[in-house]
Each structure stands twice: as C-alpha cells, then as structure tokens.
C-alpha cells in the first residue's frame, strides 16, 4: 500500500516508516521538522535500503496536503504529527489545541476529497485519565485527562467517531500507546528530545551520558510495592509493528472504527527501570527522591488482549532490550557526531 505518514521523521513515526517499508509498503512522509531531524530520512534508507517520498511542511497547510494527494495515490494514512509534551501543553494550551486538532481536521478533509478513508490515528493511554482499575482495557472510562495534550487526543478520538457516524465508509483504527521507549537496534533512530526531557527513560539516558547529574524520582509514597510510579513500557519497534498489524487489518477488512491499546500488559516501577538500565548497561544512575509530579497517577498498564485477538499483535521485546537499545542509540549518535 501507499501510506502517508504524518510526522514520519519523529520518534514513533520513523520507526513505523521502517516497519512499513520492511513489510513491502511505499511510504510518503510529511514532517515540519519541529521535533525531528531531516537526517532521519537517510537513516530510514540506511536501515531498510529503501527511500521515502518526503514533503517538509505542516499538516495544517491545505496547500501542501493537496499537493501530496495530487502527486501520490494514497491508500492509507497514519497520523502521528502533533505536539506531544505533556508539561508544555499546560503552559501552551492554545498552540496544542490548534496544532493537534486543526491538523487532524485538515487531514481528514483532504482524505475525504480524494476518497481515501483508511486512517490509523496515534492516540495515547493518557485519554484514560486516572484509571479506576488496572489493567486498563479499551472500554475503561475515559478522562478527565490531566493536561491539554491528553485532552487533544480525547477530542480527536471523538471527532473521528463522529466522522465515522457521518460516513461509515471510513475505516479508522485508533491506537492508544502506553509508554513507548527504546530505539531501533541499529542505533540510527531513537528518541532525541530537544532540551531537558520530561520522560523517565530519555532523562535516565542523559544522566548515564553525564549530561545531567542525577535523576529525580517523582514520589516514593505511592501505593505500589516500592512506592514509585508504575507504567507499561513498550519498545518503540514493537509499537511500530503494532501499526503495521493495524494497517493489514484495515487493508483486509472493513473495520469501521476500532480502538486498541498498544502495551505489554506488564507494569514496571521507576526503581525497576533504574535497576534495569544499570544492569543492562553496567552504568550507575544516581537519583534523589523528590515529591510527586502534579498530574501523575500511581499505576498505569494495559490489558493488551484485544490487539492480540483482533490484530494478532503482541509486544515481543523485554525491558532489558529497551534499556540496551535506548543507551545504544545515544552512543551511536555520539559517535556519528564525533
């Protein structure tokens, strides 16, 4: 299939482009490079031996979106493009609502105009808010989320549901990610946040790389075995493969609109992750216990059964792989820059 990947040079988008190409698809990417580097295009070619068709721009720009659909026969779209920093979204709500929602509206309008109605949407487990119970399944109650970023995902899911109700020729799959971490084994692509990372694993990697002195552990007084927060960490390559599984189902069946959790079904605490990183890479990670981070919840992990039953998707990589690949990416990036 010819797949348009919005935000395709970003962390999850680029890994998905690799898996799409490796599965015999052709890939067209639009990315405004606001949170991605143009070199990623070359790394994707290096990894797969195949090129992508690249357009630099923002999905909100109708002109470039028309150009893409005029110049390419798009069979399906995977929509990753969007702002995704939870903390930043609290201080910049208008930018988040404008960019994340407008880009989705423009994309769907153009797709409709060109009669392309196969869409995979990158959503987030954040839409579950503070879960009543774990593991979380797709019918668990939604919201309220603790930040505008999460609310944009909630709003976009509703927009897509309304779009399907208006025209049931749409074939829409919503994928709710838990905590994507790790990097491709080549070390060429991975998570390269600008500035000081908000997320745990990129922060640990910077401490390991001596770019930060120590890690703050946000709270050790949660109702968990070691008192620190528990999350469902999934390797980004597994997550990318989950997208290919979703696309195959879209291509084979008329799914209508379906939602799937992409997680491992296993929870790991902050201290588990620190210990796993230290063990996998033989590097000490100094840390200090700090107070809880506002908006954090204690425990979050998926019930991954629906994706397994209906998409045949099951995460294969373990925490040790995630820790080794996260560190390998930074080491490779460092060597490339030297």
Compute the distance between CA of residue 179 and CA of residue 124 in angstroms, rounded to an integer. Answer: 9
CA 41 to chain CA mean position, Å: 18
**Which stretch in 199-207, 260-268, 276-284, 311-319 sits in contact with ligand WQD by CB under 6 A?**
199-207
In angstroms, give the least distance from the CB of 300 to ligand WQD: 6
**Which stretch in 161-169, 214-222, 235-243, 329-337 sits in contact with ligand WQD by CB under 6 A?**
214-222
In angstroms, give the least distance from the CB of 136 to ligand WQD: 12
| Residue carrying the six token digits 């493969």 | 241
Candidate residues 177, 260, 277, 313; the one interacting with ligand WQD per rule CB under 6 A: 177
- Rule CB under 6 A: which of 11-70 touch ligand WQD? none
> For ligand WQD, which is the closer residue by CB, 111 or 299?
299
Candidate residues 199, 224, 275, 305; the one interacting with ligand WQD per rule CB under 6 A: 199
By the 8 A CB rule, do 164 and 170 touch?
Answer: yes
- Catalytic residue of the set 149, 164, 177, 222: 149
Beta bridge partners of 235: 181
Q: Give, rounded to a whole angstrom, the gap between the first and last alpha carbons of the chain.
A: 39
Tokens of 47: 């990894």
Binding mask 102-141 for ligand WQD (x = CB under 6 A): ----------------------x-x---------------
Q: Is 155 in the site for ligand WQD (CB under 6 A)?
A: no
- Rule CB under 6 A: which of 250-309 touch ligand WQD? 270, 293, 296
Binding mask 218-237 for ligand WQD (x = CB under 6 A): x----------x-x------
Instruction: Report the 10 Å Cβ neighbour count for 168.
Output: 12
Q: Which of 217, 205, 229, 234 is nearest to 328 (CA)?
A: 205
H-helix segments, 134-285: 148-166, 200-208, 236-252, 270-281
Compute the distance between CA of residue 272 and CA of residue 101 in angstroms, rounded to an integer. Answer: 36
Axis crossing angle, helix 319-337 with helix 200-208, rounded to the nearest 10: 50
Active site residue 149: yes
**Which stretch in 91-99, 167-175, 212-220, 239-247 sits in contact with ligand WQD by CB under 6 A?**
212-220
Task: Please classify residue 118 by burial: count the beta carbons closer than 10 Å to its beta carbon, then call 0-12 exposed, 13-18 middle and 19+ buried.
Answer: buried
> For ligand WQD, which is the closer residue by CB, 194 or 335?
194
H or E element at residue 80 = none
Report, as residue numbers or ranges, the catalytic residues.
149
Binding residues vs ligand WQD (CB under 6 A): 84, 86, 124, 126, 177, 179, 198-200, 203, 215-218, 229, 231, 270, 293, 296
């Amino acid at each position: 299939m010819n797949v348009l990947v919005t935000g395709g040079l970003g962390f999850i988008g680029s890994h998905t482009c690799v898996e799409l190409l490796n599965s015999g698809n052709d890939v067209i990417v639009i990315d405004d490079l606001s949170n991605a580097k143009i070199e990623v295009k070359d790394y994707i070619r290096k990894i797969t031996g195949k090129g992508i068709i690249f357009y630099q721009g923002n999905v909100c720009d109708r002109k470039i979106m028309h150009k893409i659909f005029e110049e390419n026969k798009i069979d399906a779209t995977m929509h990753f493009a969007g702002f995704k920093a939870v903390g930043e979204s609290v201080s910049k709500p208008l930018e988040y609502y404008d960019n994340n929602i407008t880009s989705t509206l423009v994309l769907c309008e153009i797709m409709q105009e060109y009669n392309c109605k196969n869409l995979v949407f990158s959503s987030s487990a954040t839409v579950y808010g503070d879960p009543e119970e774990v593991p979380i399944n797709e019918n668990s109650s939604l919201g309220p989320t603790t930040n505008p970023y999460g609310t944009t995902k909630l709003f976009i899911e509703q927009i897509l549901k309304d779009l399907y109700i208006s025209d049931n020729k749409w074939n829409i799959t919503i994928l709710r990610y838990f905590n994507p971490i790790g990097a491709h084994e080549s070390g060429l692509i991975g998570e390269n946040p600008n500035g000081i990372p908000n997320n745990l694993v990129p922060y640990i990697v910077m401490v390991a790389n001596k770019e930060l002195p120590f890690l703050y552990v946000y709270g050790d007084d949660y109702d968990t075995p070691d008192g620190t927060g528990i999350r469902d960490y999934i390797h980004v390559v597994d997550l990318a493969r989950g997208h290919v599984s979703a696309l195959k189902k879209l291509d084979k069946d008329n799914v209508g609109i379906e939602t799937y959790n992409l997680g491992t079904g296993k929870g790991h605490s902050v201290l588990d992750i620190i210990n796993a990183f230290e063990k996998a890479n033989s590097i000490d990670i100094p840390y200090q216990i700090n107070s809880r981070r506002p908006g954090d919840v204690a425990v979050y992990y998926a019930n991954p059964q629906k994706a397994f039953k209906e998409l045949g998707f099951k995460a294969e990589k373990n925490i040790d792989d995630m820790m080794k690949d996260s560190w390998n990416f930074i080491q490779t990036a460092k060597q490339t820059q030297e």
